[in-house]
Structure 1
């Protein structure tokens, strides 16, 4: 039986700007299942990234609860949240935060050794993961500036996976890539998901969203649509595309 990995109850997030309170997330009750590839969509300013940050412990909610694998994130202090994220979450962003003065391999090892001090084990895992995403031995000594955008993002995904996160959180991971690089990154994420990895991803791109099996549509801080697409299949891509387009049109996207 598939287990719930994240659930929120009356989740709220507000910001104060110029003395005016801005309510970004409004009483959200969400349940995410382990092994799902959940896509969060919505218009600009709808609260997508704010929701991602709240569910991953990157930001604390103003009100409400977030149960992540049995731990209420709202009750943790900043140091406890940092440890929890390191042990349970992987992050991939639109901007690829690889360290410029470190090689491809060392960028991955630096993250892995924060959790697992067995260097031999981490080196083997890092190399295996790099090969799985199409980054071969010739690229391992290179620095990030020597990589293409798609290569760098695939290294970023490996870095996010090195500690076997419960959930991989991605915020517009293809937003700065060209079409070919975007496809290569999406293929990696699809393969990772097929191997059992839970993923939560924010995107505004329809082609990217097609890779998910569930679409949550956020509008003005409220979930106003929830579409179950099922597992991704290239053979069914036209049907998925039409179903998603119809759903988004209904949402006013």
Structure 2
């Protein structure tokens, strides 16, 4: 989890790590690759084959069904439509989106459903890292919890996730917290893997850490 006050550089760090932005100084190594040396075309290929993105707004294409939104992203990497469709169906089912919803358009989905569809789209190409920028920021409490539950299960299954958040409940799900101040990593807290029923102890540790950071 990446935390910090507004303007501290959270989203900038996320975008630099994922190759969406190029830093003016320094280098970014991703899985042993110095991506700061990549051209824009190389970065585009790198992002769609190694990264997944989930934002506060889902950015699903309004004129395409839920399933077609997912497949459109996958077909950029995998031309085997049958295999890709089977994988999309499996992922959509895993995140609680039944077959009855696959033909719906984004305007027919709830906020939580749309965000879960966005997560499937982000994961369809087996990203090494899933980058998330305030993914629950536009959701109500119940929908936000359902999205966090899905991301927690993904993480337990081996999906690396780097997430920007202002929300304490969301931050509690993280195994590690980086706190930024004025573009610098000011604090670093290791919480360990999230387990159900451990909220109180984790909350105390996180609150103490954030108090030290001047949150």
Name the TM tier (shorter chain). over 0.9
* Residue from 64, 84, 88 that aligns with 2:50: 88
* Residue from 173, 177, 188 that aligns with 1:215: 177
Q: Match of 2:143, SS? A: helix
Report which of the two has the higher share of strand.
1
Q: Match of 2:136, SS? A: coil
Matched, 1:175 2:137: yes
Structure 1's unaligned 5+ residue stretches are: 1-38
Deviation at 1:70, TM superposition (A): 1.3
TM-score normalised according to structure 1 size: 0.84
* Residue from 65, 76, 79 that aligns with 1:114: 76
Deviation at 1:53, TM superposition (A): 0.2
Q: Say how many residue pairs are matched.
A: 215
2-structure distance, mates of 1:172, 1:227: 19
Which residue is 1:11 aligned to? none
* Residue from 194, 197, 209 that aligns with 2:159: 197
Structure 2's unaligned 5+ residue stretches are: none
Which residue is 1:184 aligned to? 146
What RMSD over aligned residues (CA atoms) do the two structures have, in Å? 0.5
2-structure distance, mates of 1:252, 1:229: 19
* Residue from 215, 233, 237 that aligns with 2:195: 233
TM-score normalised according to structure 2 size: 0.99
Matched, 1:74 2:36: yes
Deviation at 1:234, TM superposition (A): 1.7
Deviation at 1:46, TM superposition (A): 0.1
Matches within 5 A, 1:27-38: none
